[in-house]
Amino acid sequence: MSRFGHTRLSVALITVLVCAAPTFAQVAIKADTIYTMAGEPIRDGVVVIVDGEIRSVGPAASTQIPQGMRVMNAKVATPGLIDARATVGLTGITNQEQDQDQLDRSSPIQPELRAIDAVNMLDPLVEYLRNYGITTAHVGHAPGELISGQTMVIKLVGTTVDSAILKPQFAVSCTLAEEAQKGDDKSPGTRPKMVAMLRAELIKAQEYLKRMEAEKPEDRPARDLRLETLGKVLRGEMPLMVYAHRVRDISNALRLADEFKFKLWLDGACESYLIADRIKAAGVPVIVHPTMTRAWGDTQNLTLECAAKLRDAGVPIALQSGFEDYVPKTRVVLFEAAIGAAHGLGFEDALRSITIDAARLLGVDDRVGSLEVGKDGDVALYDGDPFEYTTHCVGVVIGGEVVSDTPH
């Protein structure tokens, strides 16, 4: 090849490499109302996102938009919404065996199962939820076994879970409800059996941690992923997130947390409003059941005002989409918050429960949950009140990347 041919090839390769390099979009959002969740709403406001981060946010009259930047318009802009408890990524949209990894029925106790090994970012359910403005989710194994596995916190963007991770290991999912009870003389068949099995496993984990502290390596036990994970719970590195609805089951969880001194979170908790003072005294947050959960079995005493009642009692809360047995297996947390807003929670606290309050609960409020300078450029755009049924989500930005742009 001639020298000229080599030069042309080199230029072509450089061009390909430069074009292939990932770049952050530079985008500005103009909205009639911006709910920053870090102060009062901004009327006729602008959010400027550069290199994936929020560069400025404020009134349009005093916030400069750099020349050449893409501008998106909306009636309302909010921080990207946060689903505080979901199974999206493990749960697929088709309700077929190949896309249902949220629950392994082979054993009642499996804390070693990791959400990161199951999440499918390319499942259409991820895009479905994202198109409603949901940008961050606490995802993991569903309730249904005594200990069903671990959870993680991710952004709903990208083709692989590795590029979406905010927290790779977050909580251990536990169930003290009828879903974890077995029939046909299998264990656990009753509530006392569930608590006894869980207590026994926690005691094993305590003993495992003590043996791991042995001075001589040969005196330490072989690595046990199950006990290692529960050891993280006992050391306070991961909360035990207990799915329970009845007062007696919630009380069992509180009693175990007091006995073993682990960090407890309540998941679902339909009857939590009946013992809200006790939950507050224990310092336990509640990821409140989907507002529109069907009232039957363990959930028969639910109320649409549960979130409001807990808020009034001073219990930290966030809302969730949860897990359902029917297609598409998960609800839309935007709609759940809307119902909560209409039943005592009010607009601002309902929005907080799926933005900044959820972010604080999940320990990611340094990056998401509010529109502030330096935080990730995650924004949801709407053509009206986000909680109004006829409103559309007309755009979604995650880390400065426009992932949805569907004006109506």
232, 171 in Cβ contact below 8 A?
Answer: no
Mean of all residue pLDDT scores within the chain: 93
Most distant CA pair in the chain, distance: 83
Alpha-helical regions (H) of 157-224: 191-212
Tell me the per-residue pLDDT of 274-331, one tens digit each, with 9 for 90 and over: 999 999 999 999 999 999 999 999 999 999 999 999 999 999 999 999 998 777 778 9
The pLDDT value recorded for residue 23 is: 43
118-154 per-position pLDDT tens digit: 999 999 999 999 999 999 999 999 999 999 999 999 9
For 149-165, give one letter per residue: b (16+ CB within 10 A) or e: bbbbbbbbbbeebeebb
Q: How far is CA 141 from CA 60, 82, 149, 393, in A?
A: 44, 18, 5, 28
Domains of the chain: 22-80+371-405 (2.30.40.10), 81-362 (3.20.20.140)
d(CA 337, CA 339): 5
Q: What local confidence, expressed as pLDDT, does residue 25 receive?
A: 57
* Structure token digits, residue 2: 């001639």
Average pLDDT over residues 243-256: 98
Q: Backbone phi, then psi, for 90, in 5-degree steps?
A: -90, -35
User: What is the pTM assigned to this prediction?
Assistant: 0.93
* 307, 309, 316, 319, 362 from 340: Cα distances, Å: 7, 11, 15, 9, 20
